[in-house]
Amino acid sequence: MIVALTGVTMADQINLPTPSKEGGKPLMTALSERKTSREFSDREIPLQMLSDMLWAAYGINRPDGRLTSPTAINRQEIDLYLVMKNGAYFYNPKELKLAKISEKGIRTTSGFGKFAEKAPLTIIFVVNKGRQQISDPTASLTLGAVDCGFIGQNLYLYCASEGLNTVFFATLNKEALSTALKLEKGNEVFFGQSIGFPPEK
């Protein structure tokens, strides 16, 4: 079943529309407007906007499968999960699909700050250690965190460009999220980033 995202998180799989790679504010304007905001309206993010945003964050931008965001040794070890009001999805950048992980609303049980409990979308950054293949723990942690940071900044710039509010955060309950997102052993939750429209005045 393919459905619009608004108010829906019941489809097993959502085919994302082809991301639009045009438009947006000039880079220097987006950089001028990049900021953290912790207030969100309840309004859902339209599916086309979601697809564009995910592509900007961590989408394939070259024929050889490389991404808009750099990763150490091109291991592409970051997985992005989407936590929304009524469930959680896994983003598959190759197939442009969202795969349903859970129908449970987990915004209030994941140790997020109050802001993220209200945000219509929180992206969870997971480091897939199996794909990363870096045995030294310090290097694994450092390179994983850096790779998350690049994606986070891509999201910040997309949000600045599109008039969305966003906050990148480290405060979350990794254990609760690992269970809720059904992560396999070796996958570790690193960060979250909440995104939504500014509150209506």
Ligand X SMILES: Cc1cc2nc3c(=O)[nH]c(=O)nc-3n(C[C@H](O)[C@H](O)[C@H](O)COP(=O)(O)O)c2cc1C
Min. distance of Cβ 118 from ligand X in angstroms? 13
Q: Kindly tell me which of 32 and 171 has the beta carbon lying closer to ligand X.
A: 171
| Segment contacting ligand X by CB under 6 A, of 31-39, 64-72, 78-86, 94-102 | 31-39
- Contact track, ligand X, 54-93, x by CB under 6 A: ----------------------------------------
- Contact track, ligand X, 161-180, x by CB under 6 A: ------xxxxx---------
Instruction: Give the integer Cα–Cα distance in Å for 51 and 20.
Output: 8
Q: Kindly tell me which of 119 and 180 has the beta carbon lying closer to ligand X.
A: 119
Min. distance of Cβ 8 from ligand X in angstroms? 28
Min. distance of Cβ 36 from ligand X in angstroms? 3
Min. distance of Cβ 114 from ligand X in angstroms? 10
Query: Mind giving me the DSSP string for 166-194?
Result: EEEE--S-HHHHHHHTTPPTTEEEEEEEE
Instruction: Give the integer Cα–Cα distance in Å for 40 and 166.
Output: 8
Cite the DSSP H helix spans in 63-186.
114-118, 129-132, 137-162, 174-180
- For the range 161-164, what are the long-range contacts, defined as Cβ-Cβ under 8 Å and sequence gap of 24 or more? 161/24, 161/25, 161/29, 161/30, 161/33, 162/24, 162/49, 162/52, 162/53, 163/197, 163/198, 164/45, 164/53, 164/195, 164/196, 164/197, 164/198
| Number of residues in contact with ligand X under rule CB under 6 A | 9
Q: Which residue has the tokens 């697809």?
A: 51
Q: Is 139 in the site for ligand X (CB under 6 A)?
A: no
- Contact track, ligand X, 90-119, x by CB under 6 A: -----------------------x------
Q: Which residues contact ligand X (rule: CB under 6 A)?
A: 35-36, 38, 113, 167-171
